């Protein structure tokens, strides 16, 4: 009989163990979330070398900041991906560059790899895809530029020519629509 994939409760238990200094818990969390974390980092940074470094830094930061995890604010996966996202933004801002899509970079098979069974629920992906496709294309692009491109509101204003208030309003509206559509 195949092993059952870890659940959110299992991941929360691992965080508690990590808070207690259990190095095995960090290893288990790495096994559970490294693949999806790497893909997010690669999407944001484009460079595989940078993505690998941020992946490693993410789990070092997770080890140091496990005590900040609050289950009321999201899942362990969300916490890990938020750490990675912030580290990617730091890297982007530090090098004063934005990710430039290289020929075929977005067609890279790494972006098409499914997450390990332990962290990927096909129903979740269908819900995410449906929620994103329900957004107007311009709002979806603003979200992608903000999240994956690391652009600030002011930079999005300069890129799109939209007023700052409009950019902020569209982003907020898009996030609220996503939240609404993602609710069970």
Residue 52 maps to which CATH number? Answer: 1.10.1740.10
Which of 72, 92, 119 lies at the terminal end of a domain, its last residue? 119
Query: Is the model's pTM score more than 0.85?
Result: no
pLDDT at 111: 47
| Together in a domain, 106 and 155 | no
b/e string for 153-164 if b means 16 or more Cβ within 10 A? eeebbeebebee
Locus of tokens 């208030």: 165
- Across residues 72-95, what is the average pLDDT? 89
Q: Helix 76-94 vs helix 8-19: angle between axes, to the nearest 10 degrees?
A: 70
Which of 86, 119, 152 lies at the terminal end of a domain, its last residue? 119
Range of the domain at 172: 121-184
- Across residues 87-96, what is the average pLDDT? 83
DSSP 3-state assignment of 114?
coil
Quote the mean pLDDT of the chain.
81
């Amino acid at each position: 009989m195949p092993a059952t994939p870890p659940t959110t409760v299992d991941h929360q238990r691992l965080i508690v163990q990590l808070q207690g200094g259990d190095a095995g818990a960090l290893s288990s969390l790495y096994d559970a979330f490294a693949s999806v974390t790497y893909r997010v980092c690669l999407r944001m940074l484009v460079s595989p070398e940078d993505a690998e470094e941020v992946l490693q830094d993410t789990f070092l930061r997770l080890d140091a900041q496990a005590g900040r995890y609050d289950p009321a604010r999201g899942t362990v996966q969300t916490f890990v991906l938020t750490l990675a996202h912030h580290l990617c933004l730091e890297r982007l801002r530090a090098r004063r560059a934005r990710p430039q899509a290289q020929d075929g970079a977005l067609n890279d098979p790494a972006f098409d790899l499914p997450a390990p069974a332990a962290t990927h629920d096909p129903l979740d992906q269908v819900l995410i895809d449906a929620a994103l496709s329900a957004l107007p294309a311009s709002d979806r692009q603003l979200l992608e530029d903000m999240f994956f491109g690391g652009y600030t509101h002011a930079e999005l204003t300069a890129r799109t020519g939209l007023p700052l208030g409009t950019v902020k309003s569209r982003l907020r509206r898009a996030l609220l629509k996503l939240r609404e559509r993602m609710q069970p």
